[in-house]
Amino acid sequence: MIKRITALAFGTAAALACTASAAKVQSPRAPLYDTDMTGSDLQFLGDAGEQDEAQSALDELAATHARTGPVKTLGEALLKDHAAESDALKKLAAGKRVTLPAQPRQKRSDRALAKLSGDSFDKACMERIIDVQKKQVATYEKGSESADAAIRRFARKSLPGLKEHLLLAQKIAGMASAEKLFKTGAPSFASPAVAEAPAETPASGPEGSLELADGKMIAGWVYDPARPNEPLTVDICDGTTVLTTVAAKEFRGDLKQTGKGDGKHFFMLQTPDAFKDGKAHWIRATVSEAHFELSGSPKSVVVPAR
C-alpha cells in the first residue's frame, strides 16, 4: 500500500513518515511525497533538491555581489543554465512521484552573507559555495551507485561536472588540492608543479594550462617567465576560429606559491554561446603573440542547445 509521506525538511526524508491526514496540516513549503520509494533513493532526491536550492541562492549572490572577477564569473556561469538543470532534477523526482519545492528558501547564513561586501563577501561566499558543492559531490556519488536505473544515470551524468566545478572553486579560493576528497577518480586540474630548476635557468617561453572547458566555463592559467608580472592575452578558439579573447590577469594563490610571478595569471570566462548548439566543438586556448597553445588544449565539448 502506497503511503503518503511528508518531510518537514530535506535530508530527513528517508526517516520521517506521516499519514495522509497529517500531511494536510503541513506548511505550504513542506515537500510532499506520494511514492512507494524509501531509503537511499528518497534520501538522494531530498538531499539533491535541498542542495540545488542552496546552490541557486549562492550563485545569484555571487553574480550580483562579488567584487573579485572569478567569483562573479563563477556565480554568473553556474546561474546561467541552472533553471534547465533544476528542471531536470524536478522531472526525475516527478517521475518517482516526489514533488520538490518550486522556489528556493534563503537560509539565515545566506541572509547574513548578503550583508557583507568587498573581500569579506568574496571570501565568505566562496566558503559557502565550496561547502555546498562538497555536499553535492557526496550526494551524487551515493546516487551513482543507486539500484534505480534512472537515478543512477542522472547522478553519473551530473557527477563529473560537479567535481570539476568544485575543483575550480577551490582553486579560486586558494585552497589546497581537492583530489583527496573523492573516493572515485575525479578529473584533476593540471596544477603547476613547483620548479626544482635553478633560478638562472633560461626561460623557454610561456607555460600554462587549459584546466576546464565545458558548457558553463572556460578556465586556466598562462605565464611567461620572461615577463613574470605581465598578464598574457589568451585567444579562445573554436577550432581555428578565434571567438573571443581574455586577459590572464586574475590572482590565484597556488600560482604565486609555485613561482609564477605575482600569481596574477589566471583567466576564467563563461563559455560563449557559439559552442551551445548540440554539436561537437574543439575549444582551444592559445597565446597568438607567442605562437603558444596551452597544455590541455584543445578540449572536445558537446553542449546541448538551449
Q: Is residue 286 within 8 Å of 198, Cβ to Cβ?
A: no
Asked if 126 and 172 touch (Cβ cutoff 8 Å), the reply is yes
Confidence category of residue 164, pLDDT binned at 50, 70, 90: confident
Q: Does residue 151 have a pLDDT over 70?
A: yes
pLDDT given at position 105 = 56
| pTM (two decimals) | 0.67
Q: Rounded mean pLDDT of 214-235?
A: 93
Nine-digit cell at 245?
579573447
What's the pLDDT at 117?
Answer: 87
The dotted CATH code for 207-302 is 2.60.40
Nine-digit cell string for 13? 526524508
pLDDT digits (tens, 9 = 90+) for 23-54: 333 333 444 454 566 688 989 998 999 999 88
Confidence band, pLDDT 50/70/90 cuts, at residue 154: very high
Going 77 to 79 to 84 to 85, the CA torsion angle's sign is positive
The angle subtended at Cα 113 by Cα 163 and Cα 188, nearest 5°, is 15
Residue 107: its pLDDT value, please?
A: 62
Where residue 97 falls (left for φ over 0; alpha for ψ -120 to 50; beta otherwise) is left
Mean of the per-residue pLDDT values for the chain?
Answer: 78
Alpha carbon 38 to chain centroid, angstroms: 29
CATH of domain 4-181: 1.20.1260.10
Which own/partner pairs from 147-152 qualify as long-range (CB within 8 Å, at least 24 positions apart)? 147/41, 148/41, 150/92, 150/95, 150/96, 151/41, 151/44, 151/45, 151/92
- List the domain boundaries for the chain: 4-181, 207-302
In this predicted structure, what is the pLDDT of residue 101? Answer: 67
